[in-house]
Amino acid sequence: MSEIKIEDLSKQIKGALILDKVSITLTSGKIYGLRGKNGSGKTMLMRAMAGLLIPDAGSVIINGKTLHKDISFPESIGILIENPSFLPQYTGFKNLKLLAGLTGGISDEEIRTALDRVGLDPEDKRTYRKYSLGMKQKLGIANAIMGEPDIIILDEPINALDEESVKKIKKVLLEIRDKDKLIIIACHDREELEYLSDIIYEIKDGSIVDRKEITNDNA
């Protein structure tokens, strides 16, 4: 059971207020959608939850532990934020293996499973630099879901993916959610976001302006 509790979180970057007293609580077993225009603060909120952004005020509390006070980063998290970036000279598997080596506790079999689930061939010998945009995106998602961490944050995960791949990713995310994991997604595609999400937060000018519970047949 995971919980992210955000209390009065504010952040300014170069004088611009990008997060303004955000307060939400997210619990496991649900997919949370973040919706808003470009520059509304979705990505920054995700970065703050992932421990990448240091708040000016307020706090992000993960399972009772405050980020940047008790822990530097959430203990079990997978993220894909904006464009995925990997080492161009290595294959997808090798890239994930290097990252898994840092995380610890993720086997080669789990890496292969993650690649397979997003539609990438674990035995593919092509290096990352030869990947198409869609393959790069899939590798980013595979990195976020490998080892099935308790919290998964995905920023525009279906960008550059074809229809079939989108279906596959949606299925995988719903499967993971049903294992009592907490998933946060930002997506411009309203329809896809509503299909995947249990709760959608609308963000405007760095503030949460609306919360909407979605009832669909995914539950």
Partner 1 sequence: MKTLKYLRRDMRLGTVNRAYVFLIPLVFSLLMSLQFSSIINVFNANNNSQFGMTIMDYYVFAMKGLDYYTLDPFDLYPLPLYWFTFQMGISYFIAYYPEKDYSENGVNILVSGKSRASWWLSKVFWCILSVLVYYLVAFVSCAVFALIQGAGLSLGVTKEFEVAYFGYNMTYVSYSDLIVIAVIVPVSITAAICLVQLLMSFVLSPVTSFAVTCGMYVLSAYYTAWFFPGSFTIWLRSSYFDERGLDPVSGLVIAAFMAVTAVGFGIMNFEKKDII
* List 60, 81, 161, 200, residue binding partner 1 (CB under 8 A): 81
Taking the C-alpha atoms of residue 199 and residue 18, their distance in angstroms, rounded to an integer, is: 22
DSSP code at position 167:
H
If one asks whether residue 79 binds partner 1 (CB under 8 A), the answer comes out as yes
Antiparallel, parallel or unpaired: β 151-155 and 57-62: unpaired
Give the up-direction half-sphere exposure of residue 111: CA atoms within 13 A in the CB hemisphere.
19
Pick from 73, 130, 132, 178 the residue near partner 1 by CB under 8 A: 73
Query: Using the rule CB under 8 A, which residue among 23, 25, 66, 89 binds partner 1?
Result: 89
Contact flag: residue 172 with partner 1 (CB under 8 A): no
Residue with tokens 């993650």: 114
Query: Any idea what DSSP says for residue 120?
Result: -
Axis crossing angle, helix 133-145 with helix 92-103, rounded to the nearest 10: 30
Which residue of 24, 52, 199, 214 would you call a contact of partner 1, by CB under 8 A?
Answer: 52
Note whether 51 binds partner 1 by CB under 8 A: yes
List 85, 107, 132, 216, residue binding partner 1 (CB under 8 A): 85
Residues in contact with partner 1 by CB under 8 A are 13, 47, 50-54, 68, 71-73, 75, 77, 79, 81, 85-87, 89, 98-104, 143
